[in-house]
Every structure is written in C-alpha cells, then in structure tokens.
Amino acid sequence: MNQEVLALFGKAKESLEAARLLLDKGYNNFAASRAYYAMFYVAEALLASLGQSYSSHGAVQAAFGREFTKTGKLDLKYHRWLIDAQDFRNLGDYALDKNISSAQATEICSWAEEFILKAEEYFPSSK
C-alpha cells in the first residue's frame, strides 16, 4: 500500500473520531459533515490504490461507484451511503433553517465506521 493510501485512511479514521466527539457534544450538523469526509477519504484511498485521483466530490463518487460497486467489489450500499452522507453534509454545513438530528448523525457515523472497516478488508495493513 502506498503512502497516499495510508494517509487517506489516516484522515478517514481521524475524521470519524472527530465526528464522534462532535456527536457526543451535540454538534450533529458538524458530526455528519466529518462522518461524510471519513467516507470520502476512504473512497479516495480505494481509488488511489488503482492509480486514480479526482478533483471533485462528484467525480470521486462516480468513480467509486464505477470501480467498486458496479463491479461487485463492494456492496452498492456503500455508494448510496457516500452520496446520502454528502447530502447530509451539505445540509449541515450550509442550511440555515434545518438541522440534522442526533439519530441521523449517529446513523451517518455508523455508516462511516462500517465503510472504513469494509475498506480495510482490502488493505489489512491500514488498521
């Protein structure tokens, strides 16, 4: 595994840890945002392992779906979670009149945790 992949996994784990801390303090909007980034970094790491790099969130999501879920390497739910989590991140970061509930933020953190664990099956040395 190359240094870029390791660094991205490190960022993913750190983002999930930050999400949990934010969730514990009741900052649901920001917890959801950090959990999304945990999943985003994992998707970037998986793509980097194939020598691929993209400059936008949409491009990373599309390439992840094409390379990992449409091929059956990973369950389709991980692609769906990545897309849905970005929607929550946008809501949490930019909406002024809506907030993410504690239950929603908790669920997104659970998605991120499972996403990381599943991706680690490809890279046991990233643990």
Model confidence, pTM: 0.94
- Whether 32 shows a pLDDT value over 60: the answer reads yes
**Six-digit token pair at 69?**
């879920």
**Six-digit token pair at 94?**
């930019």
**C-alpha atoms less than 13 angstroms from C-alpha of 62 in its C-beta half-sphere:** 7
- Whether 124 shows a pLDDT value over 90: the answer reads no
C-beta separation of 74 from 94 below 8 A:
no
Give the CATH fold of the 3-126 domain. Answer: Four Helix Bundle (Hemerythrin (Met), subunit A) (1.20.120)
Identify the pLDDT of residue 125: 61
Q: How far apart are the first and last CA of the chain?
A: 12
How far from chain centre, in Å, is Cα 33? 9
